Structure 1
């Protein structure tokens, strides 16, 4: 049985003799340069686990090591991880907010607004969508400012109830 020192020496010797050749072979396959060292390490580990292969003539040892390395590369390239990963040169563009939620809210509000009396609808639309003041709305509709305030108050109250019924406002 081999001692730990013999095994360490054998592994160092294998590494010194074959690692450079194996790395060049793996990169030439072509394979990812960053992963080539992992393949070399795994190949040399398998050679260390099968020390009888190292007692054969040099061309046989080199052929065995290259075959193991090529099989490791092929297995990795065929792996499920590789098929699912897609490498890109540049980062994808940043995500932006989807307008769907905003459009849905506008639709629900418009639907709730349509349930209000026409005079309340007109005052609310003029104030919030038109950006008009109470004085401007009073002039536009030919009614007192107090009536505009009253319609705005009761219209918003009814709108809130309509939105609550639709589950939008709590």
Structure 2
């Protein structure tokens, strides 16, 4: 007997995203391992129930947003049921310090861009870092990298094309 497509999807999601999701959930729950595991399990269950959500956008940011929403919802439910506010060591400070969803989206996009940059060849990555992140001119980049200015221009052109492709593969570029 083989595994169903649904089971393969869940296994693939867990294999690719389970570790980072658990780490994030642990931070949000103040280190409560059981609650963090429950949140990750519920997140993957929601991904399985709503495969259309995975097809329309990058998967990892959506998963991280679901984790955050589940932790916040659980906290609000505890307070609404008359539960006491959580002490600082149970995650209240973590929840209070949570950035808004826009900040989380920006952070996830930054991680995705960093992963895409890591996939570039060292020469392409170096030229992108020098020109875009350090803001150097072509001439300054040529001096720093010890290559001719024409090489900086051509590497930048091809590096940007490779970066765009890497970002498209991750669902971040149009």
TM-score with structure 1 setting the length: 0.42
Structure of higher CA gyration radius: 1
- Name the one with the larger helix percent: 2
TM-score with structure 2 setting the length: 0.41
Q: Which has the higher contact order (CA 8 A, sep 6+)?
A: 2
